Amino acid sequence: MTANTKEAPVHLWLKDLGADASVEGVYLVKDKRSGVSRKGDSYLMLVLSDKSGEIEARVWEKADSLSARFKTGDMIRLQGQVTSFKGQNQVVISDLTVAEGTVDPAIFLEASPFAVSDMIAGLREILRDMEETHTRAVIDRFMGDTEFMSRFKRAPAAKNFHHCYLGGLLEHTLAVCRLASDVCARYPSLNRDILLAGAFLHDIGKVKELSCDLQIDYTDEGRLIGHLALGASMLDEKIREIKGFPAELAIRLRHLILSHHGEYLFGSPKKPKFAEAFALHFVDDLDAKLNALGRILERDREDGSWTRYNRLLERYL
């Protein structure tokens, strides 16, 4: 018996596109540039994406009229053909329109492979042993703030580099807390409460720095202020609610957030200046880089044993 309900077409994931495949579907335009061929004809160079990956695309025919229909950041419905150029697949687009109606966000937004409820339980467990009352109180204020927590559970940790998917901030924060706890077991002179508080707090500003509707991008305050300064002022707000919060502890917690990138070059207004701040910087960097490395290797489609040159890490891998 034939079903007469009209089913939504199955999305063709970019990572699965083989040479010579015909493509029809909705993709996000991540980058759009125009060029002029030697013959003087206009063409478009695009980067298309879905949550499985990215692919370069070209519009050779009717480039000017098709270009007027969309901009970077739009979802486009396209028809095209995969061709191979210098060993890389690219899509040659024959027609496109801006995607109308509701676009399924699950096509574009990747999510952490770990369940949010498990990660929250893991975070609560590792933070449970905090002893110092005021440090405990400030963490409890964040964990009990339902608006903050709903953003914290959904936020990515970055736009492009590491943990750049829904739930990525929570996954990264949990990993940094676990690494911090391990480091404390190895170096008993470290203050576990301070280091764990720093691990939990270090990237909280990312809930305001990044937006994640159909794609991850920087917010205006993210671009203008950044997650270190945003996080420090979010911390200050919570500290103001806690009576008799020790001034010195407040300064140390602020320093952990403001120095965690380690170097002026990486956006830290201050370099780490006590042991827990050093340790936080290193465990944060370790988790961020290992996640980024895993994603680069997983997504690389280069022939041979080396990846393409990676601009973020400034090396072949």
At a CB cut-off of 8 Å and minimum separation 6, what does 72 contact? 29, 30, 31, 32
Among 50, 209, 276, 284, binds Fe ion (CB under 5 A): 284
Residues 88-107 contacting Fe ion, CB under 5 A:
none
Stretch that binds Fe ion, among 111-119, 198-206, 213-221, 251-259 (CB under 5 A): 198-206
Binding mask 244-283 vs Fe ion (x if CB under 5 A, - otherwise)? ----------------------------------------
User: Is the Cβ of residue 93 or residue 180 nearer to Fe ion in the bound state?
Assistant: 180
User: Is the Cβ of residue 276 or residue 284 nearer to Fe ion in the bound state?
Assistant: 284
Amino acid at 286: L
User: Is the Cβ of residue 58 or residue 202 nearer to Fe ion in the bound state?
Assistant: 202
User: Is the Cβ of residue 28 or residue 197 nearer to Fe ion in the bound state?
Assistant: 197
Give one DSSP letter per residue of 47-58, joined into a string. EEEETTEEEEEE
How many residues touch Fe ion (CB under 5 A)? 2
Please, what is the minimum distance in Å from the beta carbon of residue 209 to Fe ion?
A: 9
Stretch that binds Fe ion, among 186-194, 203-211, 235-243, 306-314 (CB under 5 A): 203-211
Please, what is the minimum distance in Å from the beta carbon of residue 258 to Fe ion?
A: 10
Please, what is the minimum distance in Å from the beta carbon of residue 284 to Fe ion?
A: 4
At a CB cut-off of 8 Å and minimum separation 6, what does 96 contact? 59, 66, 69, 70, 76, 77, 78, 79
Stretch that binds Fe ion, among 83-91, 200-208, 218-226, 308-316 (CB under 5 A): 200-208
Please, what is the minimum distance in Å from the beta carbon of residue 185 to Fe ion?
A: 21
Among 171, 203, 209, 276, binds Fe ion (CB under 5 A): 203
SS (H, E, C) 92-154: EEEEEEECCCCCCHHHCCCECCCCHHHHHHHHHHHHCCCCCHHHHHHHHHHHCCHHHHHHHHH
Please, what is the minimum distance in Å from the beta carbon of residue 91 to Fe ion?
A: 34
SS (H, E, C) 177-215: HHHHHHHHHHCCCCCHHHHHHHHHHCCCCHHHHEEECCC
Please, what is the minimum distance in Å from the beta carbon of residue 200 to Fe ion?
A: 11
Stretch that binds Fe ion, among 27-35, 90-98, 109-117, 199-207 (CB under 5 A): 199-207
Amino acid at 107: I
Q: Is 209 in the site for Fe ion (CB under 5 A)?
A: no
Placement of tokens 């706890």 in the chain: 181
Contact 72, 29 (CB under 8 A): yes
Please, what is the minimum distance in Å from the beta carbon of residue 41 to Fe ion?
A: 45
Please, what is the minimum distance in Å from the beta carbon of residue 148 to Fe ion?
A: 17
Stretch that binds Fe ion, among 3-11, 89-97, 105-113, 195-203 (CB under 5 A): 195-203
Distances (CA, A) of 118 to 114, 125, 198, 201, 315: 7, 10, 21, 19, 35
β-strand pairing of 22-36 with 75-85: antiparallel
For residues 275 and 259, what is the distance between their CA atoms, to the nearest angstrom?
12
Binding-site ranges for Fe ion (CB under 5 A):
203, 284
